[in-house]
């Protein structure tokens, strides 16, 4: 009789342990998915923009087709060729004495303009800010040689709302003319295609 009681007690104890284990084990919920852009758009780095990145400006997505890295005696800046549904633009990104400066440029064909003295375009007078020669390297699609030198001249109106850039990619070549406007970081959204460079 004692043995039967002992067996029943052991069985009851095992059943109690099994019940406690089952009750304390809750079915595991699937891992919550995390938004990869939780911190978006603050996660993008303007100095790390490169080929394959997506840049949204004024609600329109542009793909970075190519990037030029320019160097004038140690001062470096980047120009990115953006391709979107409204055409191609160039985005200049530079660090001017610790300040981020970004400018969006559109090519202007048939102006007949060249740098030198004041330049009048769209009935506005533009004065030269700076001019020089820089070495460049290209990656992706840029329409330039893989590397070389280029001449440039930058102009602005008195109120700095009108910008003109002249660029020449070979000594005997003609000047390309672009008009631009400065853009702020908050006007752009960038999704980097790969790890930051």
Q: What is the pLDDT of residues 47-90, one digit of tens each?
A: 999 999 999 999 999 999 999 999 999 999 999 999 998 889 99
For residue 1, tell me if it sits in a domain: no
Is a pLDDT exceeding 60 seen at residue 93?
A: yes
Bridge partners (DSSP) listed for residue 185: none
- 104 in Cβ contact with 181 (< 8 Å): yes
Check residue 10 and give its pLDDT: 72
Higher pLDDT, 38 or 96: 96
- Res. 4 pLDDT band, cuts 50 70 90: low
Quick one: what percent of the chain has pLDDT higher than 70? Answer: 79
Q: Which domain holds residue 145?
A: 49-191
Would you say residue 131 lies in a domain?
yes
Residue 186 has pLDDT above 60, yes or no: yes
Partner residues linked to 130 by β-bridges = 154
Model confidence at 181, pLDDT cuts 50, 70, 90, reads: very high
**Banded model confidence at residue 12, pLDDT cuts 50, 70, 90:** low
Residue 6 has pLDDT above 90, yes or no: no
pLDDT, tens only, 113-150: 999 999 999 999 999 999 999 999 999 999 999 999 99
Mean pLDDT of 166-181: 93
Residue 197's pLDDT band (boundaries 50, 70, 90)?
A: low
Q: What is the mean pLDDT of the chain?
A: 87
What is the total count of domains within the chain? 1
Asked whether residue 85 is domain-assigned, the answer is: yes
Report if residue 10 sits inside a domain.
no
Higher-confidence residue of 83 and 1: namely: 83
128 inside domain: yes
Q: What is the pLDDT of residue 183?
A: 96
In a domain, 150, yes or no: yes
């Amino acid at each position: 009789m004692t043995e039967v009681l002992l067996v029943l007690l052991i069985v009851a104890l095992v059943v109690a342990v099994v019940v406690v284990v089952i009750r304390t084990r809750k079915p595991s919920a699937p891992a919550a998915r995390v938004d990869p852009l939780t911190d978006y758009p603050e996660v993008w780095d303007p100095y790390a923009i490169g080929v394959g990145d997506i840049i949204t400006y004024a609600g329109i997505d542009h793909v970075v087709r190519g990037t030029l890295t320019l160097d004038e005696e140690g001062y470096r800046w980047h120009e990115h060729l953006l391709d979107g549904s409204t055409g191609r633009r160039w985005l200049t990104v530079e660090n001017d004495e610790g300040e981020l400066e970004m400018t969006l440029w559109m090519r202007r064909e048939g102006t007949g303009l060249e740098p030198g003295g004041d330049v009048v375009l769209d009935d506005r007078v533009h004065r030269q800010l700076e001019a020089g020669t820089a070495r460049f390297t290209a990656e992706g699609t840029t329409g330039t040689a893989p590397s070389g030198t280029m001449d440039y001249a930058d102009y602005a109106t008195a109120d700095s709302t009108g910008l003109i850039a002249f660029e020449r990619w070979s000594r005997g070549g003609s000047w390309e003319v672009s008009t631009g406007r400065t853009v702020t970081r908050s006007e752009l959204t960038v999704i980097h295609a790969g790890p930051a460079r």
